[in-house]
Amino acid sequence: MNLQSYIKDIRKDGKRCFTILDIVEKFHVSNSHARVALHRLLKTGDLISPARGLYVIVPPEHQPHGSIPPQELVPLVMQYLGAHYYVALLSAGLFHGATHQKPARFQVISDKRIKHPSTFGDVEIDYIYKKYVLELPTQDFTVSTGYLKLATPELVALDLLEYPNHAGGLNHIATVFSELIENLDPIKLINLAKDTHAEYQLQRIGYILDHIDVMDEPGAEIMIDALARHVQENKPSYLPLASEISKTGYARCKKWRIIENSEIESDL
């Protein structure tokens, strides 16, 4: 069983991965025999296994890093698992111009709970579970392994406040907002918040934008005005800026109906 020749052949056909079943059928061997042979190539760094039964080829130029880049790896894994997903949070922010907060791990939100090890050398993927993903707005980003599903700027903004621990806290979120603002559409943001029952996050987004310096001041003014009108018209309940901190004894911001239980400071 010459796996190296097999890998070269399928690479010529443009394939970047294969399954253990492919090996069993190609070489007429048992599962256990195939696993032993594949394990040797895992040890040499020629392959990685990001999901049970899936093997991804690591070309020589990527072997010093231990994996192909995460943006190329994720579409292969998600297609194999049959999962709906999107690149999210700080990782998605990078694609939309928010480059000052680079996450240590490539952040992906998926409707499947993925427990398989996801660290390969320098590449680490953080899989975050969300029950409903399919209907959320995404953009397709072309990579060498297909299409990468990417959260829209509006979805990034809402998710950052939904998962603040994955974003490094409010100051990191504020920094992303200061750069993301030029790509945010107020109508799309408000409609998405309504559709996902996250309207309350608009109060936090408006408050944060109102208290930081931004890269696109005219865009920020348009967004702040739209969000302020929405809050004024709907008069939602007062809500703490930082949900994890006590809201007792803090000042209240009438404009945004926010309990000011945390200070905001962008890192820019």
Both structure tokens of 100 = 């000052």
Query: What's the whole-number mean pLDDT along residues 227-255?
Result: 93
Q: What is the pLDDT of residues 167-218, one digit of tens each?
A: 988 999 999 999 999 999 999 999 999 999 999 999 999 999 999 988 778 8
- 202 in any annotated domain: yes
- 7 in any annotated domain: yes
CB 204 within 8 A of CB 258: yes
Domain count across the chain: 2
SS3 annotation, the chain: CCHHHHHHHHHHCCCCEEEHHHHHHHHCCCHHHHHHHHHHHHHHCCEEEEECCEEEECCHHHHHHCCCCHHHHHHHHHHHHCCCEEECHHHHHHHCCCCCCCCCCEEEEECCCCCCCCEECCEEEEEEECCCCCCCCEEEEEECCEEEEEECHHHHHHHHHHCHHHHCCHHHHHHHHHHHHHHCCHHHHHHHHHHCCCCCHHHHHHHHHHCCCCCCHHHHHHHHHHHHHHHHHHCCCCEECCCCCCCCCCCEECCCCEECCCCCCCCC
Q: Is the pLDDT of residue 152 over 70?
A: yes
Domain boundary among 35, 51, 67: 67
- 152 in any annotated domain: no
Segments forming the whole domain that contains residue 37? 1-67
- Show Cβ contacts of residue 175 under 8 Å, excluding neighbours closer than 6 positions: 98, 100, 101, 266, 267, 268
Q: At what angle do helices 186-195 and 201-210 cross, to 10 degrees?
A: 150
pLDDT band at residue 268 under the 50/70/90 scheme? low
CB 94 within 8 A of CB 65: no
- 161 in any annotated domain: no
Domain boundary among 32, 67, 102: 67
Residue 98's pLDDT is 87
- 111 in any annotated domain: no
Q: What is the pLDDT of residues 33-84, one digit of tens each?
A: 999 999 999 999 999 999 999 999 999 999 999 999 999 999 999 999 999 9
Residue 117's pLDDT is 74
Domain boundary among 46, 67, 88: 67
Residue 51's pLDDT is 95
- 147 in any annotated domain: no
d(CA 71, CA 52): 20
Q: Is the pLDDT of residue 232 over 90?
A: yes
- 224 in any annotated domain: yes
Residue 213's pLDDT is 86
Q: Which residue has the higher pLDDT, 125 or 266?
A: 125
Q: What is the pLDDT of residues 97-134, one digit of tens each?
A: 988 878 889 999 999 999 887 999 999 999 999 999 99
- 15 in any annotated domain: yes
Q: Is the pLDDT of residue 166 over 80?
A: yes
Q: Is the pLDDT of residue 143 over 90?
A: yes
CATH number of the domain where residue 12 is located: 1.10.10.10
